[in-house]
């Protein structure tokens, strides 16, 4: 009977050792599988990071190319539109005259304003600044010339009346490119 008890204990030890070995082998195999999967994931992550960096560099390069193309387009557009810009020139004469009926001086302006450009000069105006004696602020008078077609002109024959003695004057023409 002792023999059977000793044999039962040996069998229990063998089962316990076998179960422990199998468990240990199972744990080792899981650890190896996790390590292999982890290594593969790290390699995949590295590949994805390299691809992302490459795409970011390509995106940056495309942004720079886009900025250059956009600037080139703007430059071309300005060059093209520059052709259609109005260019106003004046051929005006002015003289200070005396109006005996009104008893005051006035500036008689005569001549022409030319549009030498290829674009229409909309809302063209002649700004006349007259500086009178004993005043530091000029008196401004605006004379409307209307729209002037490309390579066309407007004739001016107009008196500009001001209070006081006219000492000097300045003229300027201006227009807009749109109505």
Question: Coil, strand or helix: which one is 87?
Answer: coil
Please identify, among 37, 54, 83, the residue that sits at the C-terminal boundary of a domain. Answer: 83
Per-residue pLDDT, 81: 74
- Kindly report the CATH number assigned to the domain that includes residue 96: 2.60.40.10
Which pTM was predicted? 0.54
- The total domain count for the chain is 2
pLDDT in tens, 152-174: 999 999 998 877 788 888 999 99
Query: Are both 96 and 157 inside the same structural domain?
Result: yes
Q: Residues 45-75: pLDDT tens digits?
A: 999 999 999 999 999 999 999 999 999 988 8
Give the whole-angstrom CA distance, residue 140 versus residue 163. 12
Alpha-carbon torsion angle 88, 91, 96, 98, nearest 10: -100
User: Do 155 and 96 share a structural domain?
Assistant: yes
Residue 4 sits in the same domain as residue 60? yes
Of 83, 107, 137, the position where a domain reaches its end is: 83
Based on C-alpha coordinates, what's the Rg of the chain? 48
Q: Which of 50, 83, 116 is the last residue of a domain?
A: 83
Same domain, 65 and 14: yes
Q: Provide the domain limits for residue 135.
A: 88-176
């Amino acid at each position: 009977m002792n023999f059977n008890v000793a044999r039962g204990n040996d069998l229990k030890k063998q089962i316990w050792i076998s179960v422990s070995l199998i468990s240990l082998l199972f744990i080792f195999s899981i650890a190896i599988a996790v390590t292999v999967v982890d290594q593969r994931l790290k390699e995949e992550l590295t590949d994805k990071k390299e691809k992302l960096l490459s795409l970011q560099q390509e995106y940056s390069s495309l942004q720079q190319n886009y900025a250059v193309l956009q600037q080139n387009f703007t430059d071309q557009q300005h060059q093209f539109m520059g052709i259609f810009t109005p260019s106003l020139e004046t051929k005006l004469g002015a003289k200070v005259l005396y109006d005996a009926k009104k008893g005051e001086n006035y500036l008689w302006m005569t001549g022409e304003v030319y549009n030498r450009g290829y674009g229409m000069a909309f809302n063209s105006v002649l700004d006349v600044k007259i500086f009178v004696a004993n005043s530091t602020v000029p008196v401004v008078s605006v004379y409307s010339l209307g729209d002037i077609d490309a390579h066309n002109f407007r004739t001016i024959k107009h008196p500009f009346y001001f209070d006081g003695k006219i000492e000097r004057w300045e003229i300027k023409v201006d227009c807009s490119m749109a109505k």
